[in-house]
Amino acid sequence: MKELESRIKAKGLNDVEVKQYMCFGACQEGPNVVVYPEKSWYAHVKTEDLDDIVAHLAGGPHVQRLDTIDSSLKDLIYQLLDTGVF
């Protein structure tokens, strides 16, 4: 998480905030990174994936290879985030 924060900072993405979420219900597929409110979910994230994620945050392409989470779980968590609970 610290590495992600530092790469986002290095890229000058001042409108991106990294927050820890209490539980996505997908520990077996972690580490998980959810990009919100855009709604992208990256699973099994490794340090070597961070540049691609940061590039996406900077307007680059979606990182398809990390998009492996079941759509029903994604929908549930996105709806939960949409309520403003977090």
Residues in contact with other proteins by CB under 8 A are 22-28, 72-73, 76, 79-80, 82-86
8 A C-beta contact, residue 26 and residue 69 = yes
| For other proteins, the closer CB: 14 or 79 | 79
Nearer to other proteins, 42 or 57 (CB): 42
Cβ closer to other proteins: 56 or 74? 74
Q: Find the shortest distance in angstroms from Cβ 40 to other proteins.
A: 19
